[in-house]
Chain A
């Protein structure tokens, strides 16, 4: 079976900073990582491949340096990597991104065999929209299964998949036809550490690199900035919290310490004291 996993190279948000004057995100020198949510989908695809056989193709759209992330995915165990890169894609919002990715997935289908399941991350840690997976599904006319916590059964004969989906009220047990699009929930698995032979293979692997034209994209009006109705009007950093934590000295007895602690809290917010007093009077 053929599993296609869409990944995105994102700046490591743990190390990102906002410029104090211009309020723009300072990307220079910030290390990049594979979007952490994508790794749950990648691992799930690898597990299915190991179980039923087949291939895992990872796909990303981004600048040439995004090939680092693809190579990492190969190290983890993916069989093939496709990089969609072209200056026409610069400035894409989710609408333009899903257009380009859907076209590339079609092309992957033509070139390497049609995908049975397309995986995507639940959302990214930089854009946080959670729109790309569903957008791809819509454009490819696939059933979409988001927030999947476990894949219970994959039956190639019957062309169906049974899975658990987390919803607000609980867990849904769903069955779907293939092909479909799945986004995995965080924590649904733990991404593996690639074997040494996978690492060696990844180090030497040729990454399939496609321009818009290579991917069969003809309408460039739908790509990049031109194809993106979303406009970032303003970026701002939330103001830093002015209040600092206060220390309460340890008193003679624990009761005294508690007393001092409560007093310190009430001194800061008299309204809270009134509320507590009102509540306590009920007992």
Chain B
């Protein structure tokens, strides 16, 4: 029996959990953090890109110590067909600023560091400890958790569920529904190790500069999905993800998609000669605004992936997680300093803060996008990339054909695509983007 009572118990030591634990502990709250993995980050999978601004709001001088891989100075978007890609690159020396805006990170290292920051502020972290049940009082208010270790429940004023997309505590306790197959993507990722100088030569980088490639098109075999290539210091993260419901229908496997992506003539030379040291898979919440569950109640709040707080359009997850964790921590601190109870009415402050922040504003903006990508997947990921690719080839190939005929060809192709609903899709995307 544990007599001790905590101000807050945080479930999970990922981005959301660490941000919440850090925010509360640094304001003097008594925080217990439970992590089911052997160490923070051991269960986490992300590409991954770290957005500096959101972390700066939590740990202002993180650049001094955090394990960062490369600062991103170049972004490439690739529209892919089987043999080609049409790309848009943006590279700027402006990104080589004193306080760079985006970095690649390796979560197993980063999360450890982040959790240590929370610990240094006084949070207590127990690893290899899974919260399996919420403890409620006679009125139904959550007052603590039971773990998979013997020795009774641990009590706290509030439980912060930052347990990730697939966390079982919230779903078992019916605080949130199990995410449906259409609301989660399954992403697979490999880490390809190469000497830093090889990576720098292949991606035209120097020092700690980094580049990112995001690719969509025929690589996802007509499903809504995206491939990515991130440069780390001594490795390249390469992966691809599609909606679980699409995988279920298509009978293709994530491993097969990744294989197609890796063998693509535009990709293969980038990873040639590398040594694969890690293969990982993870779910990504992609349901958007409409899939966000109730995020607070009597004695509990939900942060990060567990709350479907992920912006699939901008591929931002970790910063929504961090920010929601920070806001939960700030809300709890405010309630605590007013000496009020952690009931539903008071914890609605957290939701209000989320509503006012970019987290829910961004998700609201793109609320129709997930459905659109899903229903128009064939067109968006198979037909249009091929149209664009054909047009580019037509424009560039010099074969003695009069240019006027070539233009007519291209025009004809696009006109044919009207039958598939090209104009309608353009209109729908514009509306979903607005």
- Contact (Cβ within 8 A) B150 A200: no
| A199 touches B (CB below 8 Å) | yes
User: In the complex, what's the smallest C-beta–C-beta distance from A14 to chain B, in angstroms?
Assistant: 13
User: In the complex, what's the smallest C-beta–C-beta distance from B20 to chain A, in angstroms?
Assistant: 18
Query: Which single residue of chain A is at the shortest CB-CB distance from B32?
Result: A200
Interface-facing stretch out of B91-99, B122-130, B204-212, B242-250: B122-130
The main secondary structure of chain A at its interface with chain B is: helix
| B2 touches A (CB below 8 Å) | yes
Interface size class of A (residues with CB under 8 A): 10 to 19
| B152 touches A (CB below 8 Å) | yes
User: In the complex, what's the smallest C-beta–C-beta distance from A176 to chain B, in angstroms?
Assistant: 33
Contacts of B2 in A (CB 8 A): 196-197, 200
- Contact (Cβ within 8 A) A195 B151: yes
CB < 8 Å neighbour of B147 from A31, A196, A203, A204: A196
Distance A203 CA – B115 CA, assembled complex (angstroms): 13
- Contact (Cβ within 8 A) B125 A196: no
- Contact (Cβ within 8 A) B149 A195: yes
| B194 touches A (CB below 8 Å) | no
Distance A75 CA – B129 CA, assembled complex (angstroms): 11
| B142 touches A (CB below 8 Å) | no
User: In the complex, what's the smallest C-beta–C-beta distance from A104 to chain B, in angstroms?
Assistant: 27
| B154 touches A (CB below 8 Å) | yes
Contacts of B151 in A (CB 8 A): 195-198
Distance A196 CA – B147 CA, assembled complex (angstroms): 8
Those of B137-155 within 8 Å (CB) of chain A: 147, 149-152, 154
Those of B12-60 within 8 Å (CB) of chain A: 32, 38
Contacts of A204 in B (CB 8 A): 124
User: In the complex, what's the smallest C-beta–C-beta distance from A43 to chain B, in angstroms?
Assistant: 15
- 1/0 per position for A226-263, CB-CB distance to B under 8 A? 00000000000000000000000000000000000000
| B64 touches A (CB below 8 Å) | no
User: In the complex, what's the smallest C-beta–C-beta distance from A29 to chain B, in angstroms?
Assistant: 9
User: In the complex, what's the smallest C-beta–C-beta distance from B41 to chain A, in angstroms?
Assistant: 11
Query: Which single residue of chain B is at the shortest CB-CB distance from A198?
Result: B151
Contacts of A75 in B (CB 8 A): 126, 128
Those of A183-211 within 8 Å (CB) of chain B: 193-200, 203-204
Distance A38 CA – B85 CA, assembled complex (angstroms): 56
Distance A200 CA – B150 CA, assembled complex (angstroms): 12
- Contact (Cβ within 8 A) A199 B125: no
Contacts of A31 in B (CB 8 A): 38
Query: Which single residue of chain A is at the shortest CB-CB distance from B6?
Result: A200
CB < 8 Å neighbour of A203 from B38, B125, B149, B150: B125
Distance A195 CA – B2 CA, assembled complex (angstroms): 11
Contacts of B154 in A (CB 8 A): 196, 200
- Contact (Cβ within 8 A) B126 A199: yes
Distance A197 CA – B152 CA, assembled complex (angstroms): 9
Distance A195 CA – B149 CA, assembled complex (angstroms): 5
User: In the complex, what's the smallest C-beta–C-beta distance from B14 to chain A, in angstroms?
Assistant: 18
Contacts of A203 in B (CB 8 A): 124-126
- 1/0 per position for B357-395, CB-CB distance to A under 8 A? 000000000000000000000000000000000000000
| B4 touches A (CB below 8 Å) | yes
Query: Which single residue of chain A is at the shortest CB-CB distance from B3?
Result: A197
Distance A197 CA – B150 CA, assembled complex (angstroms): 8
- Contact (Cβ within 8 A) A200 B152: no
User: In the complex, what's the smallest C-beta–C-beta distance from B215 to chain A, in angstroms?
Assistant: 29
- Contact (Cβ within 8 A) A199 B129: yes
Distance A199 CA – B127 CA, assembled complex (angstroms): 9
Distance A200 CA – B124 CA, assembled complex (angstroms): 8
Q: A200-B2, A200-B4 are in contact. Are A195 and B150 (CB under 8 A)?
A: yes
Query: Which single residue of chain B is at the shortest CB-CB distance from A68?
Result: B39
User: In the complex, what's the smallest C-beta–C-beta distance from A203 to chain B, in angstroms?
Assistant: 5
Distance A197 CA – B4 CA, assembled complex (angstroms): 10
Contacts of B32 in A (CB 8 A): 200
- Contact (Cβ within 8 A) A193 B125: no
Distance A75 CA – B38 CA, assembled complex (angstroms): 13
Distance A58 CA – B147 CA, assembled complex (angstroms): 26
User: In the complex, what's the smallest C-beta–C-beta distance from A86 to chain B, in angstroms?
Assistant: 24
User: In the complex, what's the smallest C-beta–C-beta distance from A16 to chain B, in angstroms?
Assistant: 13
Give the most central of B32, B38, B150, B154: most A CB within 10 Å: B150
Distance A193 CA – B2 CA, assembled complex (angstroms): 17
Contacts of B126 in A (CB 8 A): 75, 196, 199-200, 203
Distance A195 CA – B153 CA, assembled complex (angstroms): 11
Contacts of A195 in B (CB 8 A): 149-151
User: In the complex, what's the smallest C-beta–C-beta distance from A180 to chain B, in angstroms?
Assistant: 31
Contacts of B152 in A (CB 8 A): 196
Contacts of A198 in B (CB 8 A): 151
Distance A104 CA – B128 CA, assembled complex (angstroms): 31
Give the most central of A197, A198, A204: most B CB within 10 Å: A197
User: In the complex, what's the smallest C-beta–C-beta distance from A130 to chain B, in angstroms?
Assistant: 28
Q: A200-B2, A200-B4 are in contact. Are A194 and B149 (CB under 8 A)?
A: yes
Give the most central of B125, B147, B149: most A CB within 10 Å: B149
Distance A195 CA – B128 CA, assembled complex (angstroms): 12
Distance A203 CA – B154 CA, assembled complex (angstroms): 15
- Contact (Cβ within 8 A) B124 A196: no
- 1/0 per position for B59-88, CB-CB distance to A under 8 A? 000000000000000000000000000000
Give me 8 other A-B pairs in contact (C-beta within 8 A), A199-B129, A203-B124, A203-B126 excluded. A75-B126, A193-B149, A193-B150, A196-B126, A196-B129, A196-B152, A197-B2, A198-B151
Pairs A–B under 8 Å by Cβ, sample size 9: A75-B128, A193-B149, A193-B150, A194-B149, A195-B151, A196-B150, A200-B124, A203-B125, A203-B126
Which 7 pairs from chain A and chain B are nearest by CB?
Answer: A195-B151, A196-B151, A196-B149, A197-B151, A199-B126, A203-B124, A195-B150
